[in-house]
């Protein structure tokens, strides 16, 4: 039977998080349901005919222990949706947007089944400032007014998708609850629609945009190896594959803390609880690159490994939906998912419960399609309702292949949808070379997209970027010969290449995430450091060609100062690197003079 928009059925089968329900009159895929006397939330993932009636197969977002056959289940008639409005920033939620701080206050460190709190605070007032007036025409994406959500972010109240018409009434400068009516719009059909400060949006449905654009601006992380050698653009997609202990989480934290996005969405998807607790302890005490509290621009989604797998499967789509909402306000958003392997494991478990035929690695055959539906929602776009406003979502997903094996199906499927691949190497990690990104296996297809931007910072960047990669690859090719014959048996130019590559690895590529200066390296300093090492290599090559001995080039007095530049030179004074380059040139000139 139906109760309002709800439909009621009875439970036929329970298999872990999978529940079969008979009796719904008109259920739809993705409809939200409440299961049993505990009101356990779940969503319909499959429909099939059984004995002339419709059987709904539901994945439950909580533990189904204690649920009985024959218990009632209710189909609510709408899909799992995010509440989007003031109060999102600084929040800590799980994969289906349950506010974990509220749950902790109520029931301590464990979630009580069936307990339901609204995602957004219904009692907090927000100071609404209208920017439209009565009679103005509005359409999807048009900004109606603003709310100062915190010290650094202005929350823009935008017209929901599907609403178009003239403003009939709009609130003045006054405090409003998220449930209060901020604006009433008279549609083209004459019907009035009340708009609140918040709106809902289904997590599996991408929010519409006006157009998708080619990205051209790099997402600056402050990590030299990434920004200078394997960059990602705003609106780009990257993955960080690596085995246990190679530094995936630390690298994700680096992006969350220091990247130049406006909004950060961090998804702890199936990770260990202590890693999420580290974030909760660290982030509130940190500032972003603009000097504002880090949590002011951050949403944390915590679905640890001991939480139900169904909610884990939903978590990355919940995160990307919130990212799209802030993108539609004109902000650049960076989303970190740590890790998509744990998400894929949840997908595999649910697929097994559904008795689907497994594909490679036991994962479902639609693994690639699911990953595509996540990564393809990133992009650099022009948004609806605000001509000329461009914003972006950048997605950085960590992958944890078993044993660090990059032939893992999740890694291989992910590579189809990303353009920056930062391969973490356990050998580099064990050698304390952090970030442990293997510069031979890694790549970025965004080099040409960001070249013009970097050339504005330093006109030599394009040539020097290519030359540094060439030096590192040539050094890698010489490794076997060095092991077999020794470096001294190689031609003098090859010996120089090995020496310079080692210098670059020990100084430019090495970065200490816990050092106050070295944790973040601004673009100007990166460009000058890149120039410093390449100028050393080019001048040294010229001297060798004119007959200078290699040992003198290796023993320049300026070399220790070059090596310490990453820590000793303040980030706000990168011009000091030019002084080091002048001293280096002076020493090189002395060697040339001695030869003549």
Give the per-residue pLDDT at 594: 87
- Give the tens place of pLDDT for each residue, 334-366: 999 988 999 999 999 999 988 899 999 999 999
Q: Residue 498: its pLDDT value, please? A: 96
In 5-111, beta strands by DSSP E: 6-15, 18-22, 31-35, 40-50, 53-60, 72-79, 81-84, 92-93
Q: Please give the pLDDT value at position 190.
A: 87
| CA 90 remoteness from chain centre | 16
Q: What is the mean pLDDT of residues 502-527?
A: 93
Domain 2-80: which CATH number of 3.90.1150.10, 3.40.50.150, 2.40.30.20, 3.20.20.70: 2.40.30.20
Residues forming a β-bridge with 269: 303
- For 121-242, strand residue ranges (E) read 126-130, 137-138, 143-148, 154-158, 165-170, 174-176, 181-187, 192-196, 199-202, 211-213, 237-241
What are the tens digits of pLDDT across the range 530-576?
999 999 999 999 999 999 999 999 999 999 999 999 999 999 999 99
Residues with Cβ < 8 Å from 587, sequence gap 6 or more?
Answer: 556, 557, 558
pLDDT score, position 1: 31
Confidence of residue 4 (pLDDT cuts 50, 70, 90): very low
pLDDT score of 108: 74
Q: How confident is the model at residue 271 (pLDDT cuts 50, 70, 90)?
A: confident
Of the ranges 60-69, 154-163, 492-501, which one carries the lowest mean pLDDT score?
A: 60-69
**Average of per-residue pLDDT values in the chain:** 92
Whole-number pLDDT of residue 572: 93
Helix axes 492-507, 559-568, angle to 10 degrees: 20
pLDDT for 24 beyond 70: yes
Please report, for residues 180, 293, 420, 515, the alpha-carbon distance to residue 564 in angstroms, rounded to integers and kept in the order given.
Answer: 57, 30, 29, 13
Distance set, CA 155 to CA 283, 342, 485, 559 (Å): 21, 32, 64, 50
Show the DSSP H helices in 240-339 as ranges: 248-258, 273-282, 309-327
User: Can you tell me the mean pLDDT for 402-406?
Assistant: 89
pLDDT confidence of residue 568:
95
Q: Are strands 40-50 and 6-15 parallel, antiparallel or unpaired?
A: unpaired
CATH of domain 212-446: 3.40.50.300
The whole-number pLDDT of residue 338 equals 87
Per-residue pLDDT at 411: 96
Which tokens go with 345?
Answer: 């494991």
Between CA 84 and CA 170 the distance in angstroms is 20
CA 185 and chain centroid, separation: 35
List the single range of 69-78, 203-212, 266-275 with lowest mean pLDDT: 266-275
Q: Tokens 């032939």 appear where?
A: 407
Find the DSSP H helices in 91-203. Answer: 100-107
Q: Is the pLDDT of residue 207 over 80?
A: yes
* Identical fold, 212-446 and 458-595: no
Helix H or strand E segment including 303: strand 298-303
- CA distance linking residue 234 with residue 214, whole number of Å: 10
Three-state DSSP at 43 gives strand
Domains of the chain, by residue range, sit at 2-80, 121-200, 212-446, 458-595
Give the CATH architecture of domain 121-200: Beta Barrel (2.40)
CATH number of 458-595: 1.10.3720.10, 1.10.1140.10, 3.30.930.10, 3.40.80.10? 1.10.1140.10
pLDDT exceeds 90 at position 211: yes
Residue 242: phi and psi, rounded to 5, are 180, 155
Whether the CB-CB separation of 478 and 498 falls below 8 Å is answered with: yes
d(C-alpha 424, C-alpha 245), whole Å: 10
C-alpha to C-alpha distances, 84 to 45, 109, 149, 406, 490, nearest whole angstrom: 24, 26, 13, 37, 63
Q: Which residue has the tokens 């048009």?
A: 142
- Within 10 A of 353 (CB to CB), how many other CB atoms are there? 16
Peptide bond just before 435 cis, omega within 30 deg = yes
Handedness of CA 511, 515, 519, 523 (dihedral sign): negative
The percentage of residues in the chain with a pLDDT greater than 70, rounded to a whole number, is: 99
pLDDT bracket for residue 306 (50, 70, 90): confident
| Polymer length of the chain | 596
Summarize pLDDT for 123-168 with one digit per residue, the tens. Answer: 999 999 999 999 999 999 999 999 999 988 999 999 999 999 999 9
Residue 157: which of 131, 134, 121, 137 has the closest Cα? 131
Kindly tell me if the per-residue pLDDT of 3 is higher than 50. no
In this predicted model, what pLDDT tens digit does every residue of 222-235 receive, in sequence order? 999 999 999 999 99
Residues 414-469: tens digit of each pLDDT: 999 999 999 999 999 999 999 999 999 999 999 999 999 999 988 989 999 999 99
Parallel, antiparallel, or unpaired for β 237-241 and 390-399? parallel
- The pLDDT value given to residue 527: 95
CA 375 to chain centre: 10
Q: Which helix (H) or strand (E) holds 430?
A: helix 426-430
- Residue 422 CA to residue 443 CA, distance in Å, equals 7
């Amino acid at each position: 039977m139906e109760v309002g928009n709800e439909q009621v059925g009875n439970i036929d089968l329970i298999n872990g998080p999978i529940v079969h329900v008979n009796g719904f009159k008109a259920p739809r895929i993705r409809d939200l349901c409440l299961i049993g006397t505990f009101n356990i939330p779940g969503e319909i993932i499959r429909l099939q005919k059984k004995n002339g009636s419709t059987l709904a197969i539901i994945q439950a977002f909580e533990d189904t222990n204690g649920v009985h056959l024959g218990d009632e289940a209710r189909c609510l008639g709408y899909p799992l949706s995010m509440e989007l409005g003031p109060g999102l920033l600084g929040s800590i939620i799980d994969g289906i947007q349950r506010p974990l701080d509220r749950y902790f206050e109520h029931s301590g460190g464990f979630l009580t089944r069936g307990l339901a709190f609204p995602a957004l605070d219904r009692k907090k007032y927000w100071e609404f400032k209208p920017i439209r007036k009565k009679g103005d025409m509005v359409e999807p994406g048009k900004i109606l007014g603003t709310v100062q959500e915190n010290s650094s972010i202005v929350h823009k109240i935008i017209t929901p998708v599907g609403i178009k018409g003239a403003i009939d009434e709009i609130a003045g400068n006054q405090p409003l609850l998220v449930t209060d009516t901020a604006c009433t719009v008279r549609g083209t059909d004459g019907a009035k629609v009340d708009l609140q400060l918040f709106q809902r949006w289904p997590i599996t449905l991408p929010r519409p945009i006006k157009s998708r654009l080619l990205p051209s601006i790099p997402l600056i992380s402050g990590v030299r190896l990434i920004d200078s050698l394997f960059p990602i653009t705003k609106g780009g997609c990257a993955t960080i594959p690596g085995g246990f202990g190679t530094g995936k989480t630390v690298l994700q934290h680096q992006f969350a803390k220091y990247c130049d996005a406006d909004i950060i969405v961090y998804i702890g998807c199936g990770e260990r609880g202590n890693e999420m607790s580290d974030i909760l302890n660290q982030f509130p005490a940190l500032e972003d690159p603009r000097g504002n509290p880090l949590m002011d621009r951050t949403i944390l989604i915590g679905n640890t490994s001991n939480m139900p797998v169904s909610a884990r499967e939903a978590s990355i789509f919940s995160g990307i939906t919130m990212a799209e909402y802030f993108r539609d306000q004109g902000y650049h958003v960076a989303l970190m998912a740590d890790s998509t392997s744990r998400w894929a494991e949840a997908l595999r478990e649910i697929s097994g419960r559904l008795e689907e035929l497994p594909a490679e690695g036991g994962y479902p055959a639609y693994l690639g399609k699911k990953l595509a539906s996540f990564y393809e929602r990133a992009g650099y776009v022009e948004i609806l309702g605000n001509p000329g406003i461009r914003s972006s979502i950048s997605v950085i997903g960590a992958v944890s292949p078993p044993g660090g094996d990059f032939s893992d199906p999740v890694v291989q499927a992910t590579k189809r949808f990303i353009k920056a691949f930062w391969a973490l190497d356990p050998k580099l990690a064990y050698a304390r070379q952090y970030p442990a990104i293997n510069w031979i296996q890694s790549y970025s297809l965004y080099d040409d997209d960001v070249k013009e931007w970097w050339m504005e910072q330093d006109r030599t960047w394009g040539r020097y970027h290519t030359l540094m990669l060439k030096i590192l690859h040539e050094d890698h090719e010489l490794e076997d010969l060095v092991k077999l014959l020794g470096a001294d048996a190689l031609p003098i130019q090859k010996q120089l290449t090995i020496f310079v590559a080692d210098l670059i690895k020990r100084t430019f590529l090495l970065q200490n995430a816990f050092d106050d200066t070295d944790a973040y390296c601004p673009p100007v300093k990166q460009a000058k450091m890149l120039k410093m090492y390449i100028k050393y290599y080019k001048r040294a090559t010229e001297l060798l060609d004119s007959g200078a001995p290699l040992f003198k080039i290796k023993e320049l007095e300026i070399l220790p100062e070059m090596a310490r530049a990453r820590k000793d030179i303040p980030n706000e004074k990168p011009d000091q690197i030019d002084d080091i380059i002048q001293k280096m040139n002076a020493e090189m000139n002395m060697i040339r003079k001695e030869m003549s």
